Structure 1
Amino acid sequence: MSSGQTHPDRCRVDDRLVRSLVDGQFPRWSGLPLERFPSGGTVNAMYRLGEDMVVRLPLIEGGAADVATERAWLPRLSPLLPTPVPEVLGEGAPGDGYPWPWSVYRWLPGEHPEAGALTDPVRLAEDLAAFVAAMRGISPSDAPKAYRGGPLTTLDAPTRAALDELRALPEEDVDCDALAAVWRDALRAPAWEGPPGWLHADLMPGNLLVSGGRLSAVIDFGCMGVGDPACDLFPAWNLLPSGAREVFREALGVDDATWRRGRGRTLSQALIALPYYRKTNPAMAGNARHVIRAVLGMSG
């Protein structure tokens, strides 16, 4: 995805640089149109290449590691999943002043779903549950640890700090006391002690594509790995209305402790995102507000 919030260490990427990289490293594609693709993401820049491809370049050093993760694992996971995922067509290398590896992917059609504007939320919930279940069913083998797969307690300090920031922003009209209670409840939930399972670990609306109301693709696997299955429950609060949320939970057979941890993880992500993105990335800030309302039962 592309950049919304300006990270302090962000690499500058423009049309001229990307054209030079593509032409120099993939001359067979040098005659194809190249156009920046708008996105609300924060870690990568994306350029549409011709009709059937997309160039994805990390904007920060942390995103460069995701490139290697996707190259290594997506070819192995793709045949085992019910939903299309990115296919790497070209492995770009640093050059022309650009410092990190980058990739060319096959273009996946579809649109990002929008919370509150889903055309078939129940079917989408079923599709999402099928994807998450398929990921969990894959044998971990030598899988890496997921970016968000560790104990919930590791998120306590940044979550409480974010709540303190939001208390100082009365214009956001956030019930921080109620949110703090939800967070404490998540921390009290029993920790995950089952076998490790594969996670996407970043199922945000911006990493999902839909067509005709159904899930058509899942993208951006840079956070994937094994860990707490609660990490893949994000769509229950960042996308699905209450009725479809229950369909999602039932289809996955989620127990109470995992559900509470999942709600806490989703809330933590939203609380941290809102003060950070509120003035620079409307999509990220808007979804964070949606999560807060959903967690408090204030929205479908």
Structure 2
Amino acid sequence: MTMHDDQVDVTTETVAALIRTQFPKWSGKTVRLLPSTGTVNAIFRIGNDLSARFPLRPADAAEALTCLQQEARASAELAQVSRLPAPEPVALGEPGAGYPMPWSVQTWLPGTVATETDPSGSDAFAEDLAAFIADLREAATRGRVFNGEGRGGVLTHHDDWMTECFERSEGLLDVVPLRKLWGRLRELPRTDADVMSHRDLIPGNVLVAQGRLSGVLDTGGFGPADPALDLISAWHLLQPGPREVLRKALGCDDLEWERGKAWAFEQAMGLVWYYAGSNPTMSSMGRRTLGRILESVR
């Protein structure tokens, strides 16, 4: 089952044909589709040191190219400020061989994603995660502010989406207490300025080795946002003990901590119903995160 009704199919044969025509220097490398719980791109290995990312949902080619160029700049910027390994942009491909949009090539980062090895009980992982978030927060915004897309701005701007999530979740979740909780979380105030943020620190986007954070993925969203946004990782990735380790290491006050919970709640509510049939791992992650949040308010 595909994850999106309008999903664009990408095959290994298509990717190999695109490489032969656009990047012949890589034509001798083996192309392999990577199993992934990701929802935005199909990802293929190119040999041992490269990966190619193909957007799954159709978009105007010119607009998609602008988006990929922006993501490449963001990925390069994050790689410069991160103490951890992160993918670096290598090239942008063009539509062809039946695939209608531009696509991107990055360096390949070896490791095991947190969806496959659970670091949630590791204090050391929590300390690594806090240090990574702190590095990003210290990076210069250069006068940039949140661009208005996705999470990271104003919580109440997501009310319409949350209304849809509650309606779609009837029969899947006990919606009544969830509505009440959002009613409180959405009103949390914010006065602090934007900081640089990964913006999607979920299990599928972090690499783990021996209970430590060993790398980060999907860095194209790096940009200014609510300082609390990267705290979604506390709820998506950590059990209560390590969660407190992360909070202490970052010095979060009560308001910032609660806003991080609000952003995690907003994301998790969408994951449960949207991916209930098409991506059980993502749907289950949403359920687990909601459970952690509800347990924290009891």
TM-score (ref. length: structure 1): 0.89
Conserved in 1, the CA contact under 8 Å of 2:146 and 2:194?
no
Paired AA for residue 293 in structure 1 = G
Conserved in 2, the CA contact under 8 Å of 1:115 and 1:238?
no
Paired residues in the alignment total 291
- SS of equivalent residue, structure 2 residue 220: coil
- 1:93 Cα deviation from its structure 2 partner: 2.1
Residues 200 and 61 of structure 1: CA distance in aligned 2, closer, same or farther (over 3 Å): farther
Aligned to 2:142: 141
- 1:9 Cα deviation from its structure 2 partner: 2.7
Cα-Cα RMSD: 2.2
Residues 163 and 81 of structure 1: CA distance in aligned 2, closer, same or farther (over 3 Å): same
- Correspondence 1:31 to 2:22: no
- 1:14 Cα deviation from its structure 2 partner: 0.9
- SS of equivalent residue, structure 1 residue 72: helix
- SS of equivalent residue, structure 1 residue 229: coil
- Correspondence 1:229 to 2:230: no
Paired AA for residue 178 in structure 1 = P
Conserved in 1, the CA contact under 8 Å of 2:197 and 2:223?
yes
User: Deviations 1:272-294 (Å, cap 9, x if unpaired)?
Assistant: 12111111111111101101110
Aligned to 2:80: 79
- 1:79 Cα deviation from its structure 2 partner: 2.1
Paired AA for residue 96 in structure 1 = A
Conserved in 1, the CA contact under 8 Å of 2:85 and 2:216?
yes
- SS of equivalent residue, structure 1 residue 54: strand
Aligned to 2:167: 164
Conserved in 1, the CA contact under 8 Å of 2:74 and 2:222?
no
Question: Aligned ranges for residues 1-300 of structure 1 at < 5 Å?
Answer: 5-61=2-58, 64=64, 66-114=67-115, 117-118=118-119, 121-141=122-142, 143=144, 145=146, 147=149, 148-166=151-169, 168-169=170-171, 172=172, 174-191=173-190, 193-297=191-295
Conserved in 1, the CA contact under 8 Å of 2:70 and 2:220?
yes
Moved more, 239-248 or 58-67: 58-67
- 1:242 Cα deviation from its structure 2 partner: 0.4
Instruction: Give, in whole Å, the separation in 1 of the partners of 2:103 and 2:200.
Output: 20
User: Deviations 1:228-281 (Å, cap 9, x if unpaired)?
Assistant: 112111111111000001111111111211211111111111111211111111
% identical aligned pairs: 38
Instruction: Give, in whole Å, the separation in 2 of the partners of 1:72 and 1:223.
Output: 10
Paired AA for residue 257 in structure 2 = W
- SS of equivalent residue, structure 1 residue 70: helix
Paired AA for residue 179 in structure 1 = L
Gaps of 5+ in 1: none
Instruction: Give, in whole Å, the separation in 2 of the partners of 1:213 and 1:14.
Output: 34
Instruction: Give, in whole Å, the separation in 1 of the partners of 2:58 and 2:198.
Output: 20
- 1:44 Cα deviation from its structure 2 partner: 0.4
Residues 253 and 155 of structure 1: CA distance in aligned 2, closer, same or farther (over 3 Å): same
User: Deviations 1:43-79 (Å, cap 9, x if unpaired)?
Assistant: 1011111112111111124693542222122223312
Instruction: Give, in whole Å, the separation in 1 of the partners of 2:77 and 2:185.
Output: 34
Instruction: Give, in whole Å, the separation in 2 of the partners of 1:53 and 1:30.
Output: 12
Conserved in 2, the CA contact under 8 Å of 1:66 and 1:222?
no
Instruction: Give, in whole Å, the separation in 2 of the partners of 1:7 and 1:157.
Output: 20
Paired AA for residue 183 in structure 1 = W
Instruction: Give, in whole Å, the separation in 1 of the partners of 2:2 and 2:96.
Output: 25
Instruction: Give, in whole Å, the separation in 1 of the partners of 2:18 and 2:117.
Output: 39
